[in-house]
Amino acid sequence: MAAPRIDLVPPESPSTAFAEAQAAHSGRMGSIGRAACLGWYLAIALAAAADTAATGMPAATLAAVFVFASVGAFLWAGERTAERVMLRSLLVGLIGLAAGVFACIGAPPGSVAAAEFLCFGAMAMLFGILAALPPALASVAAQVG
């Protein structure tokens, strides 16, 4: 004689609703979302190139290349959820800022190199924050919709 099976979790419990929300949250962006994300990243790259052309100093372009290459390497190594992309972009920006500040401290005070290193750090942090915006919006849209 078999014992009756008792389900300890009702079908509409908060834990199953949370699991379903997590499954829906890891979905992909639509074509409009991907196009907007690509346009946003192209705008960041164009802003870096325009800053380099206007100032004659390559700190902004180097910062953009640093942020995009580092975030790309982080994404290649791990899972691609919106939260991870956002956190990795912010982490790369923070690492770039720290690298720029420490390089500025090590450079001769008042030199052009010190200003360039500090500009690199500030631009890396700015581009890290800007790179985190599309995944943050995708995360919010997935939770709302």
**4: phi then psi, degrees, rounded to nearest 5:** -65, 145
**Rounded to whole angstroms, how far apart are CA atoms 63 and 51?**
11
| Token pair 């078999």: residue | 2
Structural tokens at position 114: 């010190």
Check if the beta carbon of residue 117 is closer than 8 Å to that of residue 107.
yes
Residue type at position 5: R
pLDDT value for 127: 93
Euclidean distance between the first and final Cα of the chain, in Å? 47
pTM for the structure as a whole: 0.71
> Quick one: what percent of the chain has pLDDT higher than 90?
39
Q: Give residue-wise pLDDT tens across range 66-92.
A: 998 988 887 787 777 888 888 888 999
